[in-house]
Structure 1
């Protein structure tokens, strides 16, 4: 039972709704993941919203004749998981195959498909029809529901990939998402970024600005589908030696940008111009940036764009493999987010060391340093590069242990609560939706994930073995063991 002081604090903090609930979960560990790290025993839901969070006695008056009551028996309730960087159409086509499974070749022979420079590899024919794309999206929805994922970001769909080899990333996929949302068929809330260049490939300033001017994305479906902004691929990845770095690769090169241009200076100027144009158009921007020079230059460009109009743009760096302390400080000061994958860190550290030397690892995937600096941190899967199972991502972030048990970058391990927020509350911030989702508070969306254990009794390394017992989206049960 909660102490009287805790109960009083929660009643002061949360307003009550006295109408009978549609669904009540009672007798568990409800982790609100709010700023106070609140812990409760029970939660009540009505009309797709959380109406009360408290102890069993607080919730009992809300149980009516039509209320479904689920006894948790000590199990843990979390806010619905928000995978803030997941390729939904592609995952639905690829699953259960993962690109990281291809990491069996030595670094020099590593294919573009095997890292988070995804390439376009994978089994299956090209998706030509809307019906095939919709089926892939719905398949991903079923998979994510079984994992407790209630929101995700589709990071890069648009005309830059309309002729792409997979058919998973073109502009028609945006319309398929919007149609499914309007039909009420999505079981996870989707945020999307537009893509005006090639996936993991070249883009040009001319093509990018033309896309900003001419491409009209589908209208939002409130609460379920929203086109938030644009995705830019700035560079490649360190193991492929095509990330732009301040430190030299072992062969004496420094990589470069993917943006088209006759010289390095022209490519840099055009990347900055893309960021400025997208910001001026009112878009949120996510930039795939991995090399230390790229992450630094992108952070500076975000800072400068924001300084011109003072807009709370919530731009963010995607992956951010190599981030120097000065870049993290710049990001924190300018409110620039970091969206990264702990599983990639533990899987590819040796490849980065082989490409850049072990000294470069001092600045590799510095998630703890990012949090200490005050950078908003989102952890994500990048599925189907990695598994969409967030439990594996949390375990990797907390332990920094690979599949073989080897700990890599131990100094960058973070606490369990920090990792959980990076899959819930902070992605809601990235989505500009922190006012209505991401934590468990009255008035917020009833998006929940129930684990079949008490989190306090589970070691982080064992978290992937804990089943997801229940997933609730908008007050509706979409998965139940």
Structure 2
């Protein structure tokens, strides 16, 4: 058996996929053509001959006939409860129909449970086996939609305990208002509450990882704190309470530092370059405190990062942080962005983040549809728009990186790379089967490739009708 897939176990497999490219999604770009699964784990990855001894009378063998196997997709910024309540209505992209869905969408526990289960089934059809629900908590108990209230966490716990989750869930607590201001004292009290709330669930299925903080809003509404003036001469600002802008900035820094001291992951909605700089300064100062953990051990990340500079992306890499963004939003709103900041602005530095190894792709569904194929295609289009080389070797290398940014790299952001994110022996058997090898069609052709099969914990949870 191959080095990437040799298993110490000699037991029979419950499921074998063979006869097509198995894209391991490790840094080296390793490939195999068979994978064997048992007990929710990958037994072996290698050739058809390698897995043959693991096939028993009860083994289900699926002939791929050239179809491709990837690790299960990780959508690391997706509002699953909101998505389940709204679908098929999205705000941008091909599923947007202009219909406005307003008011309370999930007003009680039963509705929240139904929304999560509906989203889970939908996401399985897209090959998504892991997700991050970024912002659930008491700050939204009276929120407009009901999809972000603290009770949602209770429902996730119930579903995890009952074995009914269709994705592995990482969750960030929210102690402010969605897209609204937060107060330092409320957030720090919430951090203490969040630490006490950790545990109680199998972390491979539900992990309360940390806290989400809204640093600012978005450039399109001229509310991202930007060093470059908008077309009306303003620079935006912060979504943190304080009598002055500097007082707000210091409150944001202290929120980040408090999360770091508590050994929580901190995800900050930060789109303006000035906001991003505040966040990076805060992480750097937190890491310098005596006895503090390294940021890499906590998985802090910038969410969206629209106006991040190349220098800030380099600093994100140096600090051991991640850059989590949604290229579908960039492609959809580029002209709008140019209208408010000027045609010469260079937002969303995806090429730089990809080269630095810190790019994590996500959908922000239901802002966009939860279709990772479209996300990868949009990222490639944006990078090519910036002048990246189009030769086949360069395009293939980028595609490998972009696919990793939806599989292996978000597993690192989740601090779970030792047990998920690649197709390797010993890791969880979360897989997706595509009708074609993505490298045969390229990033631009990926949205047209059907998802044939999704495997979660060794079980087939979606199978496309032929």
* TM-score interval, normalised by the smaller of the two chains: over 0.9
In 2, Cα distance between equivalents of 1:97 and 1:131:
21
Q: Deviations over 1:145-198 (max 9, x none)?
A: 011000000000001111111110011001101110110111110000000000
1:150 aligns with 2:133: no
Match of 2:263 in 1: 282
From 28, 31, 54, the equivalent of 1:39 is 31
Match of 2:412 in 1: 429
Match of 1:466 in 2: 449
- What TM-score do the two structures reach when normalised by structure 1? 0.90
Deviation at 1:411, TM superposition (A): 4.1
The 5 A counterparts of 1:202-351 are: 202-214=181-193, 216-217=196-197, 219-308=200-289, 309-311=292-294, 312-351=297-336
Q: How many residues align?
A: 451
Deviation at 1:210, TM superposition (A): 2.0
Match of 2:422 in 1: 439
In 1, Cα distance between equivalents of 2:387 and 2:205:
38
Match of 1:63 in 2: 55
Deviation at 1:13, TM superposition (A): 6.8
In 2, Cα distance between equivalents of 1:454 and 1:419:
15
Q: Deviations over 1:219-278 (max 9, x none)?
A: 333311110000000001001000001111121111100101111011001000111111
Deviation at 1:11, TM superposition (A): 3.6
Q: Deviations over 1:343-390 (max 9, x none)?
A: 0111111111111112222xx111111232x24211000000011011
1:391 aligns with 2:373: yes
**Cα distance change of structure 1 residues 228 and 12 upon mapping to structure 2, 3 Å threshold:** closer
In 1, Cα distance between equivalents of 2:103 and 2:461:
28
Deviation at 1:307, TM superposition (A): 2.6
From 11, 21, 24, the equivalent of 2:13 is 21
**Cα distance change of structure 1 residues 51 and 352 upon mapping to structure 2, 3 Å threshold:** same
Q: Deviations over 1:443-479 (max 9, x none)?
A: 0000000001122321322211211110000001000
From 162, 169, 180, the equivalent of 1:190 is 169
Q: Deviations over 1:424-446 (max 9, x none)?
A: 00110011100000000000000
In 2, Cα distance between equivalents of 1:240 and 1:129:
32
Match of 1:164 in 2: 143
Match of 1:174 in 2: 153
CA RMSD of aligned residues (A): 2.1
List gaps (5 residues or longer) in structure 2.
none
- What TM-score do the two structures reach when normalised by structure 2? 0.93
Q: Deviations over 1:95-150 (max 9, x none)?
A: 0000125999xxxxxxxx99xxxxxx734634221110000000000000011000
In 2, Cα distance between equivalents of 1:301 and 1:163:
30
Deviation at 1:408, TM superposition (A): 4.4
The 5 A counterparts of 1:347-386 are: 347-361=332-346, 364-372=347-355, 374-386=356-368
Deviation at 1:61, TM superposition (A): 1.1
